[in-house]
Structure 1
Amino acid sequence: MTTAVPDTAHRTAHRTTAGLLIGAAVLLDVAFAGLGAVFDYPQVLQHPPAEVLAAFLDSQTAVVAWFTALVVGAALLAPVAVGVGRLSGRRAMRWAVPVGILAAVVQVTGLLRWPLLVPGWAASGDVESFRTANLVLGTLVGETGGYLLTALWTALVLVALGTAFAGRWFTVLGGVSAGLVVLGVLVPLGVPLAGLANFAGYVLWSCWLVAFGVVLLVRRGTR
């Protein structure tokens, strides 16, 4: 009886973290697919700013809704980092928690321009403000910062948990996805295939998040 409460608490915490991992991955993927369908995102960002604003106006309600969903999915990475942080007491995991929270913050900051600021710029035709925000909030903060911090969080978690947590496949999947995600920082430099590698990285990373959640659901107790 003396261990029932701690064991129950561990199982509840694992299930909560698992739900956040799977929920974040699914929401991010669905929102990204929705934006691709109604807004041709992210390819649309390669067009002149005036054309992007016009495309935004054409499907504003749907685009804002999907970007809001993307914001929520990115925000879930903060409680994910906190929940995952309880799985290990190693130094790498202590670093991983603030890094994961910061990864969520920079991505939310970059994405919020779409539902909060872009509608006004699109209505007024303020191309210059839109261009500046895409550079600062988009490329520098949300994307570059997001790529680096997401990859770093993943690497720190893998170091902290090791192969004993779920096996070598878990470490390899997470490591490969993180390596491909971080290549996104080369996209603004025009490096060939960097965008494709980054996209593939996020697909694999979302699979890793789901696998992470499933492992937690089937595990008993804690390391």
Structure 2
Amino acid sequence: MTQTVQLPAVPSPDRAAAVFLILHIVAMFGAFMMLGPAFDFPEVLRYPSADRFALFAANQSVIRPTYWVLTMTGVTQILISVLLFHVAGSRRGAFATLALTFGTLAGLCQALGFGRWVILIPYLVEQAGLGQAGAGLLEGAFNHYSGMLVGEHLANIFWGIWLASMNVTLLRTTDISRGFCWFGLVMSPVLILLAGEQIGISGDILDPLVDFGFPLLAVWHLLLAVQLLQRRGGAHFQPLGRGWTVASAALAAGMAAPALL
């Protein structure tokens, strides 16, 4: 008589995905808030290299660890992409694979773009202080390549494709709120449009997208985390109540308020 061996149940990725979604958004927006007063971010990225060097040297005790946190958000983006791929379950298909691929690429590009401030820029600032004339040229080249091309242009395109693919996957494989998924789908072109600055799209168009689009993107991440925590590894998602809708709208308004003042 053959004895059936029962394997232990695989833990649901819901809770882990929710935790990383929250950590990702808190780390990203908290770091950007730190960089504003300490480094005149994001305007500083358009300054001459010498001005960036001076600001970095004066405040690197804050700037360097803050960019280390932002570099780690590239890693959390990859973890989120992998965990949400498994949240989709056995019914996942081509869109889930697209989400996994482009979410991983977005995280890698973000880490490469932000990471230059942790290791490379301190070295170039030191060399500039020693009178090395080529330090500014190298910093400008890396600012355009590692920063603008990899960290902003490609990362935002990949991020937008990930967001669109992820929401289509959730629509096709789960019973999560339809309105929530359509909200994410509407947001995905905003990320792709943000890649346009590096190819000449005016800041007059992009500034409102950043000021109001990113708070809405943060709300999407947090609402997905809430629904995953409420699901607790079950088969069905709980509908979002009116309280969460009102709270998320208030949060988005609060995050966008500085742009209006």
Normalising by the residue count of structure 2, what TM-score does the alignment of the two structures yield?
A: 0.78
Partner of 1:18: 18
Give 1:157 shift.
0.6
Alignment of 1:78-97 (within 5 A): 78-88=78-88, 89-97=92-100
Select which of 178, 182, 186 maps to 1:176: 186
- Please tell me whether the aligned partners of residues 163 and 188 of structure 2 are also in contact (alpha carbons under 8 angstroms): yes
Amino acid at match of 1:100: G
Partner of 2:239: none
Alignment of 1:1-223 (within 5 A): 6=9, 9-10=11-12, 13-88=13-88, 89-125=92-128, 126-162=135-171, 165-188=175-198, 189-191=200-202, 192-220=204-232, 221-222=234-235
Consecutive unaligned residues in structure 1, runs of 5 or more: none
Stretches of 4+ aligned residues off by more than 3 angstroms: none
- Please tell me whether the aligned partners of residues 173 and 204 of structure 1 are also in contact (alpha carbons under 8 angstroms): no
Partner of 2:258: none
Question: CA separation of 1:195/1:146 partners in 2, compared to 1, >3 Å: closer, same or farther?
Answer: farther
For 2:226 and 2:159, the matched residues in 1 are separated by 20
Amino acid at match of 1:71: T
1:168-218 Cα offsets, whole Å, 9 max, x none, are 331233123322121111213142321331343222212111111111000
Moved more, 37-46 or 152-161: 37-46
Partner of 2:256: none
1:64-88 Cα offsets, whole Å, 9 max, x none, are 0110111112210111100000122
For 2:40 and 2:94, the matched residues in 1 are separated by 42
Root mean square deviation of aligned Cα = 2.1
Give 1:94 shift.
1.8
Consecutive unaligned residues in structure 2, runs of 5 or more: 1-5, 129-134, 237-261
- Please tell me whether the aligned partners of residues 176 and 201 of structure 1 are also in contact (alpha carbons under 8 angstroms): no
For 1:54 and 1:190, the matched residues in 2 are separated by 29
State the SS of the aligned residue for 1:75: helix
Aligned residues: 219
- Larger Rg computed on CA atoms: 2
State the SS of the aligned residue for 1:115: coil
- Please tell me whether the aligned partners of residues 124 and 139 of structure 2 are also in contact (alpha carbons under 8 angstroms): yes
